Amino acid sequence: MNLCVDIRKNTYYDSVALMLITKEIKKMTNVKQVIVGMGTDLNKELTENLSLSNNEIKELTPNDFFIAAASDDKNGLEIIIKKVDELLNAKANYDDSALEYKPTTLSAAVMHLEEANMVIISLPGKYAAYEAKKALNNNLHVMLFSDNVTVEEEIELKKIGRDKGLLVMGPDCGTAIINGVPLCFANVVRRGDIGVVGASGTGTQEITVIIDKMGGGVSQVIGTGGRDLKSAVGGIMMIEGFKALIDDEETKVIVLISKPPAPEVAEKILNMVKSTDKPVVASFIGGDRIEIEKHGAYSSVDLEDAARKAVLLSEGKKIEDFTGFTLTDVEIDSIVQGECKKFSKGQKYLRALYTGGTLADEAMKMLRTQGYRIYSNIPLSPELRLANVHKSFEHTCVDLGDDDFTVGKPHPMIDPVARVERLPKEAMDDEVAIVLMDFVLGYGSNVDPAGEMLETIINAKRAMKDKNKYLCVIGYICGTEGDPQGYKFQREKLEKAGVILMPSNAQAVKLTSLILGKLNKI
Amino acid sequence: MKGGKLQGHVHSVFRNACNIECDELFITLLTKGKKMSPMSVIVGGVEQVDFIDLNITKGLIFELSENKIYCTQKNLFISMNNAKKWSPRSENNASECSENQLLENIKIIEQGLKTIGKHYGMGPLVNMLFNKSPELELVTFNECPFDKSFEFIKDRFMNFIQGLMKADMDGIGGKAQSVIGFGCGLTPSMDDFISGLMITYIYMGSYYKLNLEQIYEFNSKIISSGLNKTTRVSSEMLKHSSVGETNEAIQGLMAAILNFNGDNDDENHKSIIKALIEVIEYGETSGTDTALGIYVGLKILTNLRYRRVWLNESMCRY
């Protein structure tokens, strides 16, 4: 066995780097034992105890960094040093991300890129409004990704934007596609003649993705931020976005997406429908369909139905509600019967683990109409709030992208670790039958959402099998063939792991409901 | 510092932090968004500072006066004219909640640590305590392999914990000295753990109206022999923790534990978990190691057998 010691005097690395080095060196095949750390007396004693010490190590001070390893390769030291340098350089490169000139202020950016007419702001909320105002004063459209901007600031910004003819998309606006360019969390969607104004991020992604799947395309996709249609803000940006699409020659059909707006705001927006000949589909998820249709707009059953109607209208075809499946009744029945046979007695509950908030909301609303009480961190009524959001109860649907799970952490569409950690816990519950999950692709999302979950899904299924139970996993990939993650690639991975994939969130929920119905005799 | 001027040199530099050593003082410059810590200055302004991008390197000379921190070698200047003062000791050691609520809050911490903690720093040793000191009613944490380095330290750790539980005023310094500096990281895991313990002793001392003078003395004994056994950054942290000075995140967590937060259980639960997350996010395992120290400290001092030794004489008569 060869002792390999690498010492870096008076050198400090942050703990993330140290832990990364420890993990990676431990993984090396020829390394049998390793200590990485600062030269404290105790760490030196530890190296001695593990026979990893030498005179150099004995001389260390607490301010010196060291690696001491036992390797059965005679070139072990060189290999380890090379690996450590690689890891540290990789971290430095990753941190630097690019060497190109990156202006550090908005004014510098405007001078650097004179032709720019839009700015995306992603700053802590308390600074975001200030920067947004600056951008508007520079006659730039604004996409405000940041949240924690006050309502008062939002109203002020939107009024400035409206008066100057500029868009203020946000705050908390995650999705837009402007002139074919996906911004923040958005999918690669074919260009076409359907214009969208959305107050919901994943709701907008779902509709645009299905438009693409059906062969349609989008002209502009304008985000407003989730608070726009509340009474206080009064739908300022939904109205401005709507007007812009009415005036836009490339837009033939308009889709409006929001959770149910404040009634007076809905009234204001729906009154505008009369001012245009363009067909308007209003998808106010769970909202009043009669009210929408009374104003001459098309209402929808769910997000998929809204997308389908928009495509059919753009093709000049007859529309009707889509409430079923893309597969035939026989095929669906075969899946339902096949799955139900595999469960053991007592398995009856659903655990829906969503990364997309609007998709979770849509799932709960659909299941509510079937009589299910779904507990959640974003419940449809207060009594259905989970006592502990980290612990499911009976039928549960969680939005892992909500503040409960994301304070100080990346959104689960970027880093799905919250779901990776949650799924094994669900598989420990003998009464769980179905897990429902979304996989959101597109720019901004994780590079491999399916891959990140794969091992966990396989292990969860195996854990249930070991208890003579069966875990049915139903999934939905919100993405297009053009998305950087590769839709087909993602689909293959999940199907291989035994995930039943449906072509829309609504269909995934409907299938879930059918299986739950058999298990719960509803 | 009033009217005076200090000179120091850069001890270590990271993207979000820069440590300046001035004789006995150790001052940390932090970027915006970082939690305030003892002897630290958060650099504000509209732009986010990156100390590495600013080309600040080890050894660079900084001068510090009442209203500015500057480095002539790099033409860097931080104005302190509008700086807000911050106290490293919590102003609000309130004991608003009942003891039953406190025990409930500790359960929330326990579950939170189980779910979101990164246990490979001190987790294996706390798991060992679960077996060796069942009266503490600790929980165990998953996925913590007990490797050779833990084998090496386990007896000393138990010795230290026993000294702590027995309030061994004379022996605790030596027992602490034998474990301080153990673990990976710029603040070794054991030091973070001890820091959490000392802070908890002070806050709980205040909550239970224990003999705080003795607790401060005990903390000073804990660090009395170990400060030169660890890194400079860590010894500074231990010094501050021993007198109850700590960063904003830990202050927030202690306040959340010792109070009932919000109008109902759900809000209380949420705010404790939120505060715990803010602590856990420090470093790689540092935050969890500190939180584990807090957790063990809470379990020791909510146990009457171990709390009894800290009771004021007047209270002992009851």
Query: A338-373 pLDDT, tens per residue?
Result: 999 999 999 999 999 999 999 999 999 999 999 999
> What's residue A97's pLDDT?
40
Q: Is residue A336 part of a domain?
A: yes
H/E element, A154: helix A151-164
Question: A91 contacts in B (CB within 8 Å)?
Answer: none
Q: For residue A397, what are the β-bridge partners?
A: A352, A376
Q: Is B204 left (phi over 0), alpha (psi -120 to 50) or beta?
A: alpha
Q: Is A40 on the interface with B (CB under 8 A)?
A: yes
Q: Is A102 on the interface with B (CB under 8 A)?
A: no
DSSP string covering A310-334, please?
HHHHHTT-------S-SS-HHHHHH
Interface test with B, best of A16, A21, A42, A386 (most B CBs within 10 A): A42
Q: In this structure, are A308 and A366 located in the same domain?
A: no
Percent of chain A scored above 70 by pLDDT?
96
DSSP, collapsed to helix, strand or coil, labels residue A351 as strand
CB atoms within 10 A of CB A481: 12
Q: Is residue B93 part of a domain?
A: no
Task: Tell me which DSSP letter residue A501 carries.
Answer: E
Q: For residue A65, what are the β-bridge partners?
A: A8, A38
Instruction: Out of A54, A73, A96, pick the residue that ends a domain.
Output: A96
Q: In this structure, are A212 and A168 located in the same domain?
A: yes
Question: Are residues B229 and A22, on separate chains, in Cβ contact within 8 Å?
Answer: no
Q: Is residue A509 part of a domain?
A: yes
Residue A90 in this model has a pLDDT that exceeds 80: no
Query: A267-311, pLDDT tens digit by residue?
Result: 999 999 999 999 999 999 877 899 999 999 999 999 999 999 999
* A99 band by pLDDT with thresholds 50, 70 and 90: very low
Residue A466 in this model has a pLDDT that exceeds 80: yes
Q: In this structure, are A149 and A296 located in the same domain?
A: yes
Q: In this structure, are A20 and A73 located in the same domain?
A: yes
What is the CATH number for A91? 3.30.70.60
Q: In this structure, are B117 and B250 located in the same domain?
A: yes
For chain A, count helices (H), then strands (E).
Answer: 19, 19
> What's residue A393's pLDDT?
96
Q: In this structure, are A116 and A87 located in the same domain?
A: no
Task: Tell me which DSSP letter residue B171 carries.
Answer: T
For residues A251 and A220, the answer to whether their CB atoms sit within 8 Å is yes
Question: Are residues B149 and A104, on separate chains, in Cβ contact within 8 Å?
Answer: no
Query: A178-201, pLDDT tens digit by residue?
Result: 999 999 999 999 999 999 999 999
Residue with tokens 């080095």: A21
Q: Is A408 on the interface with B (CB under 8 A)?
A: yes
Structural domains counted in chain B: 2
Identity of the highest mean pLDDT range in A41-50, A117-126, A291-300: A291-300
Q: Is residue A472 part of a domain?
A: yes
Residue A104 in this model has a pLDDT that exceeds 70: no
Question: Are residues B181 and A18, on separate chains, in Cβ contact within 8 Å?
Answer: no
- Which residues in A29-64 are b (16+ Cβ under 10 Å) and which e? ebbebbbbbbbbbbbbbbbeebebbeeebeebebbb
Residue B221 CA: distances (Å) to CA of A219, B173, B194: 71, 5, 12
Q: In this structure, are B237 and B142 located in the same domain?
A: yes
Q: In this structure, are B111 and B208 located in the same domain?
A: yes
Q: In this structure, are B108 and B63 located in the same domain?
A: no
Q: In this structure, are B17 and B152 located in the same domain?
A: no
Percent of chain A scored above 90 by pLDDT?
70
Q: Is residue B89 part of a domain?
A: no
Interface test with B, best of A8, A9, A12, A15 (most B CBs within 10 A): A15
Range of the domain at B246: 99-316
> What's residue A113's pLDDT?
83
Question: A35 contacts in B (CB within 8 Å)?
Answer: 149
> What's residue A146's pLDDT?
85
Q: Round to the nearest angstrom and report the end-to-end CA distance of chain A.
A: 67
Q: In this structure, are A120 and A269 located in the same domain?
A: yes
Question: Are residues A124 and B33, on separate chains, in Cβ contact within 8 Å?
Answer: yes
> What's residue B316's pLDDT?
39
Question: Are residues B231 and A40, on separate chains, in Cβ contact within 8 Å?
Answer: yes
Q: In this structure, are A114 and A166 located in the same domain?
A: yes
Chain A's closest residue to B283, CA to CA, is: A15
For residues B124 and B144, the answer to whether their CB atoms sit within 8 Å is yes
Q: Is residue B86 part of a domain?
A: no
Q: Is A8 on the interface with B (CB under 8 A)?
A: no
> What's residue B16's pLDDT?
84
Query: B169-185, pLDDT tens digit by residue?
Result: 999 999 999 999 998 87
Which residues of chain B, if any, have pLDDT below 70?
1-3, 45-47, 91-96, 143, 312-318
What is the CATH number for A428? 3.40.50.261
CB atoms within 10 A of CB B104: 16
Question: Are residues B269 and A37, on separate chains, in Cβ contact within 8 Å?
Answer: no
Q: In this structure, are A80 and A120 located in the same domain?
A: no
Q: In this structure, are B229 and B277 located in the same domain?
A: yes
Min distance B296 CA to chain A CA atoms (Å): 22
Residue A227 in this model has a pLDDT that exceeds 50: yes
Interface test with B, best of A10, A38, A378 (most B CBs within 10 A): A38
Instruction: Name which residue leads in pLDDT, B26 or A63.
Output: B26
| CB contact residues (below 8 A), chain A span 415-434, against chain B | 421
Q: In this structure, are B137 and B281 located in the same domain?
A: yes
Q: What is the ipTM of this complex?
A: 0.73
Residue with tokens 């990346």: A410
> What's residue B76's pLDDT?
80
Q: For residue A354, what are the β-bridge partners?
A: A399
Chain B's closest residue to A19, CA to CA, is: B284
Q: For residue B79, what are the β-bridge partners?
A: B68
Q: In this structure, are B144 and B36 located in the same domain?
A: no
Q: Is residue B164 part of a domain?
A: yes
Q: In this structure, are A158 and A260 located in the same domain?
A: yes
> What's residue B291's pLDDT?
97
Range of the domain at A16: 2-96
* Token pair recorded at residue A5: 């010691």
Residue A342 CA: distances (Å) to CA of A7, A215, A331, A435: 58, 37, 17, 14
Residues 6+ apart with CB under 8 A from A337: none
Q: Is residue A321 part of a domain?
A: no
Structural domains counted in chain A: 3
Q: Is residue B192 part of a domain?
A: yes
Q: In this structure, are A115 and A157 located in the same domain?
A: yes
Instruction: Out of A59, A76, A96, pick the residue that ends a domain.
Output: A96
Nearest beta carbon to residue B186 from set A12, A385, A389: A12
Residue A35 in this model has a pLDDT that exceeds 90: no
Query: A405-453, pLDDT tens digit by residue?
Result: 876 567 899 888 889 999 999 999 999 999 999 999 999 898 899 999 9
* A221 band by pLDDT with thresholds 50, 70 and 90: very high
Residue A522 in this model has a pLDDT that exceeds 60: no
pTM for the structure as a whole: 0.56
> What's residue B314's pLDDT?
43
Q: In this structure, are B61 and B104 located in the same domain?
A: no
Residue A100 in this model has a pLDDT that exceeds 60: no
Residue B318 CB-density burial (10 A; 0-12 exposed, 13-18 middle, 19+ buried): exposed
> What's residue A98's pLDDT?
38
For residues A247 and A197, the answer to whether their CB atoms sit within 8 Å is no
Nearest beta carbon to residue A62 from set B115, B190, B231: B231
Q: In this structure, are A134 and A162 located in the same domain?
A: yes
> What's residue B110's pLDDT?
92
Task: Tell me which DSSP letter residue A186 carries.
Answer: B
> What's residue A431's pLDDT?
96
Question: Are residues A43 and B188, on separate chains, in Cβ contact within 8 Å?
Answer: yes
Q: In this structure, are A359 and A410 located in the same domain?
A: yes
> What's residue A111's pLDDT?
78
Q: In this structure, are B115 and B198 located in the same domain?
A: yes
Edge-first strand listing for the sheet containing A218-223:
A181-184, A175-178, A218-223, A191-198, A253-258, A280-284, A298-299
Q: Is residue B88 part of a domain?
A: no
Question: A60 contacts in B (CB within 8 Å)?
Answer: none
* A32 band by pLDDT with thresholds 50, 70 and 90: confident
Instruction: Out of A40, A71, A96, pick the residue that ends a domain.
Output: A96
Q: Is residue B44 part of a domain?
A: yes
